[in-house]
Amino acid sequence: MPLRMFKIQEEELAQYIKDISSGNRTALLQFYRDYGRLLLAMILSTVKSRESAEEVLQDVLMAIVSHKQDVPIDNARGWLFKVIQNLSKKKAKEDYQMQTEILSENEDIPSGEDISANIENAVEQIEAFECLDQVERRCVMMCVFGQMKLPQVAEFLGIPYKKVCNKYAYAVRKLRKYYEERGKQHD
């Protein structure tokens, strides 16, 4: 998720970083309240589990807290994006390595049928999302996977609330219709 969709002014973000790195806990709490869910949604585009995303968010906040005040940041948004990107990639790599180790240690290797069913399910979900336009897809992803409320999605996307509500409702109807038709095909 690109940082340009992160609706915060450069000066405001620079001030937050300065205040937070100087030990202002109130600024940290306010920043988290205002932008925590948005940061989490950005992180979820790289790491795939909410638990991992929350760990990365904590690491991002720690990076802000521990930033040395005497080191100037010319582009606060770019700096924050780079921190999020680096920490998210690091966590995704750790998760992948951990899953690989668990799989190699696990004696219950999934059967070909289980793997095939998982692949089929993933393909079906991708096909279902293809029936949605880009805004509908984003609304569903943010609400379902990012656990954001529709007003937050509207603010995040910079789209009027009513339009987001309509897009989300259309998306749910399209997905329901897709799965109903898919179910009839399998009967």
DSSP annotation string for the chain: --GGGS---HHHHHHHHHHHHTT-HHHHHHHHHHHHHHHHHHHHTTS-SHHHHHHHHHHHHHHHHT--TTS--S-HHHHHHHHHHHHHHHHHHHHHHHHHHHHHH-S-PPPHHHHHHHHHHHHHHHHHHHTS-HHHHHHHIIIIIS---HHHHHHHHT--HHHHHHHHHHHHHHHHHHHHHHHHHH-
pTM higher than 0.75: no
Specify the pLDDT at position 3: 45
Residue 81 has pLDDT above 80, yes or no: yes
The percentage of the chain sitting over the pLDDT mark of 70, rounded to a whole number, equals 79
Specify the pLDDT at position 176: 86
Specify the pLDDT at position 113: 67
Specify the pLDDT at position 166: 93
Residue 8 has pLDDT above 80, yes or no: no
Q: How confident is the model at residue 120 (pLDDT cuts 50, 70, 90)?
A: low
Q: How confident is the model at residue 156 (pLDDT cuts 50, 70, 90)?
A: confident
